[in-house]
């Protein structure tokens, strides 16, 4: 059977010419190339801020002072947002989003394929090295390309001397008894 065409049975009774017309099972389309780009860390951060705008506004103190025709006043909502649990949670959420943004910036610069080209190491060792010698956010922002390459090379040299220097110890195993909360 020909790929993309259905099978059928034909009875042939001594004719001189046979004409076959194949009916395709599907419509053949031309090749389509899709080009896209992964959103940058800044685009992801602004998208998250828009997604969580309502929750983040609860932690905002931007309306603390109100200037009106009659004078200056304190905003009750802003005071409540500063002192309430929902305001505290909103500020905590904002801190988490900022930390995620900082980590995304580090991930963008400290990519496995880039580090692999600098030090020429394969995957299990590369992953272990990258976990132990992750640069800080401030360094990633301030370092030039040359400084960054030097950091990776120097860190890898240090890693080769003692691969377990910055490795975190494994967590101890804790046996938890099987607790069942049945009606007693």
110-155 per-position pLDDT tens digit: 999 999 999 999 888 999 999 999 999 999 999 999 999 999 999 9
Quick check: 166 and 155 in contact, CB under 8 A? no
User: Are 90 and 44 in a shared domain?
Assistant: yes
The pLDDT assigned to 99 comes to 95
User: Are 103 and 44 in a shared domain?
Assistant: yes
The answer to whether residue 9 sits within a structural domain is no
User: Are 46 and 84 in a shared domain?
Assistant: yes
The pLDDT assigned to 182 comes to 59
User: Are 45 and 76 in a shared domain?
Assistant: yes
Q: Which residues of the chain have pLDDT under 50?
A: none
Domain count along the chain = 2
**Rounded Cα distance, 116 and 122, in Å:** 7
**And the tokens for 80?**
């409540």
The pLDDT assigned to 113 comes to 93
Return the residue matching tokens 């931007």.
Answer: 62
Q: Which helix (H) or strand (E) segment is 183 a member of?
A: none
The pLDDT assigned to 64 comes to 72
User: Are 116 and 161 in a shared domain?
Assistant: yes
Residue 58, phi-psi category: left (phi > 0), alpha (psi -120 to 50), beta (remainder): alpha
**Rounded Cα distance, 51 and 54, in Å:** 8
The pLDDT assigned to 84 comes to 85
The answer to whether residue 180 sits within a structural domain is no
Torsion angle, CA of 26/27/31/33, rounded to 10 degrees?
A: -90
The answer to whether residue 155 sits within a structural domain is yes
Q: Distance from CA of residue 134 to its chain's centroid?
A: 17
**Rounded Cα distance, 64 and 80, in Å:** 10
85 φ, ψ (degrees, to nearest 5): -65, -40
The pLDDT assigned to 117 comes to 94
Q: Which residues of the chain form beta strands (DSSP E)?
A: 65-68, 71-74
User: Are 105 and 44 in a shared domain?
Assistant: yes
User: By residue range, what is the domain housing residue 91?
Assistant: 40-109
User: Are 123 and 158 in a shared domain?
Assistant: yes
């Amino acid at each position: 059977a020909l790929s993309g065409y259905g099978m059928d049975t034909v009875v042939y009774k001594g004719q001189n010419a046979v004409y076959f017309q194949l009916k395709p099972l599907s419509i053949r389309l031309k090749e389509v190339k899709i080009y896209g780009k992964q959103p940058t860390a800044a685009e992801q951060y602004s998208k998250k801020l828009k997604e969580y705008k309502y929750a983040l506004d609860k932690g905002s103190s931007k309306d603390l002072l109100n200037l009106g025709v009659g004078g200056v006043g304190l905003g009750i909502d802003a005071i409540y947002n500063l002192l309430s649990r929902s305001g505290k949670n909103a500020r905590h959420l904002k801190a988490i989003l900022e930390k995620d943004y900082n980590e995304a910036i580090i991930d963008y610069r400290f990519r496995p394929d880039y580090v692999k080209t600098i030090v020429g190491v394969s995957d299990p060792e590369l992953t272990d090295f990258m976990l132990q010698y992750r640069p800080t956010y401030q360094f990633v922002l301030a370092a030039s390309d040359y400084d960054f390459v030097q950091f990776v090379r120097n860190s890898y040299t240090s890693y080769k001397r003692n691969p377990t220097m910055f490795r975190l110890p494994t967590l101890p195993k804790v046996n938890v008894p099987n607790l069942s909360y049945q009606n007693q």
